[in-house]
Structure formats: C-alpha cells, structure tokens
C-alpha cells in the first residue's frame, strides 16, 4: 500500500513488479543522461562568444543527431518488448481466480474448489474499526497463496472496470462480454491494496481491492 507523500513506486511483491521497477530505473537513467547532455550543450552555446561565419550546412551533425536518438530508442525498446511479453506469459498456473466487476463491487469465484464465490464490498466509514483503512478496506478479502503461479480471469457485468494491484504490477481491464486473463505470483505474505482504475460511474472510487497473501501451508 502506498503511504503519505510517497513519490516513488510501491514496494514490490511479485517478480513482475521487480522487473517493472528495473525498467523504470533503466529508462530514468537514460533520461537523466539525455537531460544532462542537452543542458550542457545549451549552456555552452548560450554563454560562449564563438562565431562561425562560413557555416552553410551541417551534414555531419545531422547524421549524428539522427543516429544517436535511434540507438537510444533501441536501448529503451528492447527491454520494454521483453517486459511486455513477460507480462502476458502464462506459466502453468496452480490456481485460477475468476473476477467479475459490478457497479460498484467485485465478485470473486474460486472455481477450482467446489465453486466458492463471494462479493467484496468496501467497508463504509461508519462501520470501520480503528485499524481499517478508509476507502481501501473490504468486507471480504481475496485469499491467495504465495510463491505459486496464479491465473486470473476477469470480466464485467455492466460497464468497463479495471482490476489493479500496484505492488504486484497487475492491471487488467474488466470488459462486459469479454474474458481477459493475466498471470502473476506473489513472493511474500501480506495485505495488498488496489482500486478500480477505470472510471465506471458515480461510485467508481468506492470499489477497492484487497488481497491477503498467505503461505501455502498456513
């Protein structure tokens, strides 16, 4: 869960989120290098008094500033493509969780275990305890085991929703009439909070998601 004044990503709780953070840092490093280089060149041009009265065209510099950005884009594109394929990869899931978005709550089904299903509503402010998180806690949490591959099948019953857990690096659209799937693995126990990330009506901000990750032999 993100904390007050946190300007960074949430702490990773899955291998996919670790890869996303690595890619973020990789891209940020390239961006800082470009910003530093361009700032140095601009300050040099502004504050020197050198004049070339015989410069008609600069074919060499045009070649350089065409090739260098292309190489830079390759350094960003290849890790990005690798990560995109990793996010869509399904690796022999041990458990399947079905999720259906409604206005304005989530319905979950554990179809592997005699069709266990339940609805998950946000706890209203007047029913919260002192240990609850406002607009984030729910009456029924999703219980999932850690360190095993989990497949999620996501759809919606009315309008488009989006099931999102930032610390797991998971975001998938719930679309009426369409079944989307995603795979992830949780590598530590704990409570992980998320919210619907697609505007779905008046109470869009009141349909949170809570996952409780537990050891397999709990």
Predicted pLDDT at 1: 66
Of the two residues 8 and 164, the one the predictor is more confident about is 164
- Whether residue 168 contacts residue 184, with contact meaning beta carbons closer than 8 Å, is answered with yes
Question: Model's pTM, two decimal places?
Answer: 0.80
- Strands 95-102 and 105-110, by their bridges, are antiparallel
Q: Which residue, among 77, 98, 93, 92, has the nearest Cα to 26 in the 3D structure?
A: 77
CA atoms within 13 A on the CB side of 137: 13
Task: Say whether the peptide bond before residue 193 is cis (omega within 30 degrees of 0).
Answer: no
| pLDDT surpasses 90 at 111 | no
* Per-residue pLDDT band at 125 (split at 50, 70, 90): confident
Report the distance separating Cα 111 and Cα 210, nearest Å: 19
Predicted pLDDT at 218: 64
Report the distance separating Cα 210 and Cα 130, nearest Å: 18
Report the distance separating Cα 96 and Cα 144, nearest Å: 10
Predicted pLDDT at 29: 95
pLDDT digits (tens, 9 = 90+) for 21-77: 999 999 999 999 999 999 998 998 888 888 777 777 778 888 988 999 999 999 999
CA angle 108/113/118 to nearest 5° reads: 25
| pLDDT surpasses 90 at 93 | no
Q: Please provide the average confidence, as pLDDT, over all residues in the chain.
A: 88
Kindly provide the b/e burial profile for residues 125-134, where b requires at least 16 CB atoms within 10 angstroms of the residue's own CB.
eeeeeeeeee
| pLDDT surpasses 80 at 78 | yes
pLDDT digits (tens, 9 = 90+) for 159-206: 999 999 999 989 999 999 999 999 999 998 989 999 999 898 888 989
Predicted pLDDT at 73: 93
Predicted pLDDT at 210: 93
Residue the block writes with tokens 């350094």: 75
- Whether residue 14 contacts residue 185, with contact meaning beta carbons closer than 8 Å, is answered with yes
């Amino acid at each position: 869960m993100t904390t007050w004044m946190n300007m960074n990503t949430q702490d990773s709780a899955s291998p996919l989120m670790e890869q996303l953070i690595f890619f973020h840092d990789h891209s940020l490093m390239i961006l800082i290098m470009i910003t530093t280089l361009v700032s140095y060149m601009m300050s040099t041009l502004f504050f020197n008094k050198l004049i070339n009265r015989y410069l008609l065209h600069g074919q060499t510099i045009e070649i350089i500033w065409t090739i260098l950005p292309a190489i830079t884009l390759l350094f960003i594109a290849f890790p990005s493509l690798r990560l995109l394929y990793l996010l869509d990869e399904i690796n022999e899931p041990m458990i399947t969780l079905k999720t259906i978005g409604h206005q304005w709550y989530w319905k979950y089904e554990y179809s592997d275990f005699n069709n266990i299903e339940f609805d998950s509503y946000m706890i209203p402010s007047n029913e919260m305890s002192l240990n609850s998180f406002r607009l984030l806690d729910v009456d029924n949490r999703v219980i999932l085991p850690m360190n095993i591959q989990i497949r999620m099948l996501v759809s919606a019953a009315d309008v488009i929703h989006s099931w999102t857990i930032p610390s797991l690096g998971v975001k998938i659209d719930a679309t009426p009439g369409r079944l989307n799937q995603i795979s992830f693995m949780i590598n530590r126990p704990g409570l992980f909070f998320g919210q619907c990330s697609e505007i779905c009506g008046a109470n869009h901000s009141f349909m949170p998601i809570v996952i409780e990750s537990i050891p397999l032999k709990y």
